[in-house]
Amino acid sequence: MESEQKNWDEIVFEQRNKSYGAYVLRGIYNRYLTIAALTVILLFLIFMVILNYSSINKKQVHRTREIKIINYNELTEPPSIEKAYAPPKKVAVKQPEIEKYVEPEVVKEEIVEPEIIEKEDEIKEVDDPVESSEYADDTENSEGIGTDSPVESEFDVNPGFPGGSGSLYDWIAQNLRYPVAAKRMGIEGTVIVGFMIDENGRIYDVTILESLHRLCDLEAMRLVKIMPLWVPGIKQGIKIRGRHSVEIPFILK
């Protein structure tokens, strides 16, 4: 190969100046190329050796790491964590004050006897006010008074609501105002109200015979007082006044 190369170089530079730099460079080209190749190979080998050496050292360091043995019997228990428990606060519910029910007193008007006016020549008599039709009408229209007739509890025909008991409870259902506070407290039941019915069917002297709650009692009394005229009781064919009672139901829906 060298002979062919030399021959080729000699052929090229046969008629030329061989002392020119190109001829010299062609003569030393192969040597420099070989040196460069060997240098690259040598550097590559050195790099690979260094890389492998560093990886081997890392493995050795990992292998020689100290292993610490833990004896669990010698370990102390961790401190207990106590959760702070706060009991729920009790909220005091203030109940509304319930006033004691006081039975209303029935005040009867005193009938004043008319004075007898005497004169020298004549004595003018004034009619008995009880027999006077005008005063009698005023007495009948006054609520809670009644007449001087005896109070009866037994009748040949009992007093009643116009239309019967069905109409009575329909009227109560339409006019009852359930107290809001009693509804919130879940109070339900029956209030028994007693009252007087005079000869004309008017109601007076309203009292509570069986109480449920103050608010319900007041509403039951209000209902009885605004009731329409009842049919009075009859005994021996005569309308008489007497005492009667009715149940007012309070039912939560």
DSSP output for 176-242: ----HHHHHTT--EEEEEEEEE-TTS-EEEEEEEE-S-HHHHHHHHHHHHTPPPPBPEEETTEEE-E
Domain presence at residue 192: yes
Domain presence at residue 71: no
Question: At 117, which helix (H) or strand (E)?
Answer: strand 117-118
Closest CA relative to residue 176, chosen from 164, 193, 198: 193
Closest CA relative to residue 245, chosen from 200, 193, 208, 199: 193
Q: What pLDDT is recorded for position 161? A: 93
Domain presence at residue 33: yes
Tokens representing 179 are: 């107290």
For residue 124, what are the β-bridge partners? 117
Domain presence at residue 19: yes
Q: Exposure string (b/e) for 79-98, b if CB count within 10 Å is 16 or more?
A: eeeeeeeeeeeeeeeeeeee
Total of domains in the chain: 2
Q: What pLDDT is recorded for position 253? A: 81
Domain presence at residue 35: yes
Q: CA 40: distance to chain centroid? A: 88
Q: What pLDDT is recorded for position 105? A: 66
Task: Calculate mean pLDDT across residues 70-93.
Answer: 68
pTM over the 0.85 mark: no
Residue numbers of the domain that contains 17: 8-55
**Domain-terminating residue out of 16, 31, 55:** 55
Q: Is residue 61 pLDDT above 60, yes or no?
A: no
CATH number at residue 221: 3.30.2420.10
Domain presence at residue 91: no
Q: Is residue 153 pLDDT above 70, yes or no?
A: no
Task: Calculate mean pLDDT across residues 163-169.
Answer: 92
Distance CA 235, CA 196 (A): 16
Q: What pLDDT is recorded for position 118? A: 44
Domain presence at residue 167: yes
pLDDT averaged over every residue in the chain: 74
> How confident is the model over 84-124, as pLDDT tens digits?
556 677 776 666 666 666 666 665 555 555 454 444 443 33
Task: Calculate mean pLDDT across residues 180-202.
Answer: 94
Q: What percent of the chain has pLDDT over 90?
A: 39
Distance CA 26, CA 6 (A): 9
> How confident is the model over 194-250, as pLDDT tens digits?
999 999 999 999 999 999 999 999 999 999 999 999 999 898 888 999 999 999 999
More confident residue, 58 or 161: 161
